[in-house]
Every structure is written in C-alpha cells, then in structure tokens.
Amino acid sequence: MCGSRPSQKRNQSCEQVQWAQANTRPSAATGVPPCERLPEEAAAGEALPRTARDYGLCLAGQVSAESLVAVLGNCYSVPVAHVRAPVIARVHRDRVRLWRDTTLLADHARAADGARQRVVDPAHFAPIFARKPRGQAMLYREVLLDLGGPAPAFLSALSRRHRARLQDELRAVYALYEQYGADELRVAMGLADEAGTHSAAALALVLAVPLPTPPAPALASVARRAGAGRGGSPAQCLRGLGLCR
C-alpha cells in the first residue's frame, strides 16, 4: 500500500538530506565536493554520439525452465528452444532485447523495473501448443487481460458463461486481437459488455463494422454506428443473431 502523505514527505526530506550530504561534502576520491566539480566536468564534456539514443545496459542472464529471463525485477519470454541457455539482456529506455551470442531472441516493451511482471510473447511457446492446448489458452488469456480497459471484465464473464468451451473461445478472441489490434478489440469488448453478450462471435460481429478514424468516436457513437448497419442498436443486433442473452 502507498504510504500516507506525512510519510511520503518524511521520505522526501530524508532523500534530500542524503543527496545534500553526498554531493556537498568532499569526495574521498578527489577531495572536492561533487557539486563544485560539476561545472568543470560539464564544460569538459562533449556532445553524445548519435548511437547514445539507442544505448542499452547489458546484463547477463539465463533462460529458465519456463523459457523466461529475469531482468530488473521482471520476467521476459524467449523461444522455448533456448531453455537453460545463457543470454545477454540489453536494456534500453523503452525496450528489453534478449540476445544469444549474435542472435536476437526477443524484443519486448520494457516493464517498470521491479514490477514483478511476466512479459510474454505467445509465439515463443508455439512449438508446445499442440501437446499443451490448455496452456496455450491460458497464455492467450494472460496477454488479453494485460490489454486493460474493459478486457478483464469481458474475459471474466466469458469464462463464467463458456466454461465448457473456454479454450476455443479464448483462442478465437486472441485471433481477433492479432487481426484487429489492441485498440479496436478493447472498443469491441466494451460494446459487447454493454450489450450483455460475451463471446468471440459477438466480438467478430462488432469488429466487422468499420469505425471512422480519426477522431475516435465515443462508445455511444460507436454503438449507434454498429447498430445502424442492421437497423438497431448493437445490443438489439446481437440479440437478433442469438449472440446475446
């Protein structure tokens, strides 16, 4: 839990005191306080090379039995063929790239350091999907949940209503994600949730209606457009096709 405001203020005050003590007293290495040396060092500095924009900190690591590499408090996936292999994690400002010798194994968006997140590309596990179909579906569910917005609520309802064929539903929803992308799928999930229907077929119906861009319309506007093509609201449209309760 986040601390109270007084606690946060005390922590900030302590950090300021520590910074002042570290930077205003003479350095053991130079005998001069860092604050006094800073202008001199800055004047002697040169412009950064063009490659500095893509600078990445290199960290050694090893692929776990789950085909994950621990980097700065998070885990990032690599293809399963490289389980137990030594790798180098190149940590950029916004990306984490995992290398084995000169081969780039994975390129992920960087999660906040220490967030204890699993950052996974399902394609890395494709070779084992045939013998682990449930694992495939759960991996797809994990990625879809990370979309945020209406996705968690939609997937929760989907899991309750289609328990007997949940794996097929999740695979179908993930296929729509790959086809249409995160933004359009989130809009479709919101519309289907408003209509009270939770299935891959309902999402496919909503996504089949072209949406004007830009600017992106509000949900109510999208709903009117989705229903207009079939002479009603999205809820009426979905109910008429037997896709809604």
DSSP run (H or E) holding 58: strand 57-62
Instruction: Report the C-alpha gap between 223 and 217 in whole angstroms.
Output: 10
Whole-angstrom Cα distance, residue 98 to residue 90? 6
Amino acid symbol at 141: R
73 contact partners, CB below 8 Å, separation of at least 6:
113, 114, 115, 116
User: Within this chain, do residues 137 and 228 fall inside the same structural domain, yes or no?
Assistant: yes
- Sign (positive/negative) of CA torsion 122, 81, 99, 112? positive
> Encoding tokens for residue 233?
């609201």
Distance CA 84, CA 207 (A): 41
The 10s digit of each residue's pLDDT in 104-149 is: 999 999 999 999 999 999 999 999 999 999 999 999 999 999 999 9
In a domain, 86, yes or no: yes
Which of 69, 86, 121 is at the close of a domain? 121
Q: Which two tokens stand for residue 156?
A: 């929760």
Rounded to whole angstroms, the Cα distance separating 89 from 172 reads 33
Answer yes or no: do 138 and 112 share one domain. no
- Residue-wise pLDDT tens digits, 51-92: 777 788 999 999 999 999 999 999 999 999 999 999 999 999
Structural domain boundaries enclosing 169: 129-240
Beta-carbon contacts of residue 59 (< 8 Å; ≥ 6 apart): 71, 72, 88, 89, 90, 91
Residue (of 197, 179, 187, 238) closest to 217 by Cα position: 187
**Measured between alpha carbons, how far is residue 196 from residues 56, 94, 183, 234 in Å?**
47, 38, 20, 10
Same domain, residue pair 140 and 161:
yes
Please tell me the total number of residues recorded for the chain in this structure. Answer: 245
Separation between Cα atoms, residue 129 and residue 139, nearest integer Å:
10
Same domain, 83 and 157: no
pTM: 0.62
Give the single-character DSSP code of 174: H
Q: Which residue has the higher pLDDT, 36 or 217?
A: 36
Q: What is the pLDDT of residues 172-212, one digit of tens each?
A: 999 999 999 999 999 999 999 999 999 999 999 999 987 65
- What is the distance between the alpha carbons of residues 63 and 125, in angstroms, rounded to a whole number? 13
Last residue of a domain, one of 74, 105, 121: 121
Would you say residue 40 lies in a domain? no
